[in-house]
Amino acid sequence: MSASPVSGGSPRPASSIPETPRPGHAPDHGHEPEIEVSEGLPLGFGEGWTGRVAFWLAVAFSLFQLWAAAYGTLPSQIVRAMHVGFLLLVGFVLVGNLVAKTKGGQAFFWALGGLGFFTGLYQWIEYADLIRRTGFLTQMDLIMGTVLVLLVFEGARRLMGWPLAVIAGIFLAYCFFGQHLPAPFIHRGYGYEQIVEHFAFGTEGIYGSPIYVSSAYIFIFVVFAAFLERAGMLNLFNDFALGMVGGVRGGPAQVAVLSSALMGTISGSGVANVVASGQFTIPMMKKSGFRASFAGGVEATASMGGQIMPPVMGAVAFIMAETLNVPYAAVVQAAIIPAVLYFGVVFWMVWLQAGRDDLKGLPKASLPNPWQAVREQWPLILPLAALVYLLFAGYTPIFAGTMGLALVTVLILGAPLAAMIGPMVFRVVFWVALGVASASFVEYGVDLLAIVIAGLLVACALFKGARPTIGIVRDALAQGARNALPVGMACAIVGIVIGTLTLTGIASTFIGAIIAIGENNLFLSLVLTMLTCLVLGMGIPTIPNYIITSSLAGPALLELGVPLLVSHMFVFYFGIMADLTPPVALACFAAAPIAKSSGLKISMQAIRLAAAGFIIPFMAVYTPSLMLQDGGAIAEAYGYPVEVAYILLKTVMGVGMWGIAVVGYLWDRTTLVERLLAFAAGVSLILAMPWTDEAGFALTAAFLIVHGMRTRRNRAVA
């Protein structure tokens, strides 16, 4: 196995563990890299000169976004417009290269891409004049605005499929024809010019908050994840997970959970997590005796949790922070306990299922030493640690992401140069000097860091042995831009939905309906919100699902007394669960070809694994301290830490009992009566009603006594 570009880590011990291609080797321009997110498009950039052009367009996209983030000299509207322009350009060029069957079809899609890019240039060139022409657009303005809307719809359809385009199309049609609908859906009617201006030139349509977050935050973090993967971070995570939990009961599946949790700290994309980690974990689980559908379900369930795993979380977290106007660190704080509980649930369910099926761990002699893996590849952790520090030190996500990306670039480029230095003491001096120069950006700004990177690039170009490292950086830039396409197009098309809500005011009708239902029953309102997330999630990814549902349900739940951050996290959580629920479970179908099983079967296993996790958001609504929000009566009487500890204990016991009821195993297979006891205990601990906690603790104790005595009796007889 080839070495990491950072440290040259030791190979895994010879064992039954399947090999995974290590990221970090630069592919040819037209060939696909080893790890790639593909939603709606085949892998790669295409063959021949068209593939090379597409590759370099992706590199240019990344460089533009990094320059805009690092220096911020362009107005936000221009950055948003160019972001969408690049999305359309690269997206349609890839469609032409990878999907079109004829040369004519390829030329057509390339023309669409060029036209889409020109819409961004038009906004840049005409920026000052467009501001002066607000409300009085010219004929050319209307033409360009119409073209932009049409291209965004077609681009989203090509990259994301029909469902999201259809949903956005219904909202757009409502703007044109809603004045003919009966009350309460009727609106006053809007002219064509007003609609085009609202969606194509304002900041409440396509260039609204979602695309701002995509251009400012999400893109940087997607590229950051691509760089870390190329540097070998995925292999470090896999080695660490193997060494830590590979030998316990159900070890291969526990490795999948832990490595997906670790991968989620940098990826924030469920599908990318499935594709990256699943290549290694799913075959290992199958080889160890797990059913193919269960192996795929474990990977899909664990991978989706990456979107709520701090510090990077998913793109939704950045959109949430921007929407609520709170620091990103506040969103991370609210997500910490639910994220730990989510992965705790999956660990617990796997442990129970492995016990029920009598599946052992991997032989300890075949497993790597986790701490040795960390010692050998510890430099990979530094950029992630710097990112976490900057995010929690109050720096903006743009600055933190850009600096984290710059630091991992320094690490990649510096590694081959350090390897050429003979004596260890000089190598240490080199890294210390490079570290000091890189860290000085906090004091002297981004220019110094840019000079350091430029110097490293020149040095790598001068030495033959270091030149391949430049290819790693180049390929990571291209891959990051490609990975960002589905996210960016989702943010662009969902701007149509948000623009409709702000233009017509239809959101107030929906909010009023939820409030009317919830006046007497908050639980019913939460269930309806959950079902909305799950139904929408059958056709659209987590990001647009969250944006649409939170725009409608968030204010309504606030009126019913649910803290705004908690209500948004509630929607976020079930938006993630939607990717696991049949009939359209994107994460499960991404795992299907790796597991060689039906996506529907994998989805059913994923729902079973995540069943206990469905209750965590409900508990957070009734006890916001679970998300480290304002405390309640226990906090007033005994202090906030006591309330958090009590709620956490109650939640852990509740999901634990639910897991036992679902799997039917603890120390031995449970009887029907014992399963009913466990189920009743779990329900009682979840409900926030008088005496339900006491009943839940009593039922839990009763279950443990009954099940323990029966298990001991059976073992004595055996």
pLDDT band at 686 (very low <50, low <70, confident <90, very high): confident
Residue 636 has pLDDT above 80, yes or no: no
User: What is the predicted pLDDT for the residue at 408?
Assistant: 86
* Local structure of residue 161 (DSSP, 8 states): -
C-alpha dihedral, 550 to 556 to 557 to 563, nearest 10°: 80
**Per-residue pLDDT averaged across 651-677, rounded?**
86
Percent of the chain with pLDDT over 70: 87
Residue 519 has pLDDT above 80, yes or no: no
**Per-residue pLDDT averaged across 321-344, rounded?**
83
In 268-410, where do the E strands start and end?
Answer: none
Give dist(CA 3, CA 315) in Å, integer. 31
DSSP string, 153-176: HHHHHHHH-HHHHHHHHHHHHHHH
Summarised one tens digit per residue, pLDDT across range 183-222 is 778 888 888 999 999 999 988 889 987 888 788 877 888 8
**Per-residue pLDDT averaged across 283-291, rounded?**
79
The least confident of 20-24, 248-252, 286-290, 300-304 is 20-24
**Per-residue pLDDT averaged across 117-134, rounded?**
91
Give the bridge partners for 665, in sequence order: 669
Most confident of 64-78, 92-106, 354-368: 92-106
Q: Where are the domains of the chain?
A: 48-206, 654-717
pLDDT band at 26 (very low <50, low <70, confident <90, very high): very low
Give the bridge partners for 669, in sequence order: 665
User: What is the predicted pLDDT for the residue at 381?
Assistant: 80
How many other CB atoms sit within 10 Å of the CB of residue 91?
A: 28
User: What is the predicted pLDDT for the residue at 272?
Assistant: 63
The residue among 342, 371, 370 whose CA lies nearest residue 247 is 370
Q: Which residue has the higher pLDDT, 542 or 132?
A: 132
Summarised one tens digit per residue, pLDDT across range 242-254 is 787 777 777 778 8
User: What is the predicted pLDDT for the residue at 150?
Assistant: 95
pLDDT band at 5 (very low <50, low <70, confident <90, very high): very low
pLDDT band at 95 (very low <50, low <70, confident <90, very high): very high
User: What is the predicted pLDDT for the residue at 196?
Assistant: 92
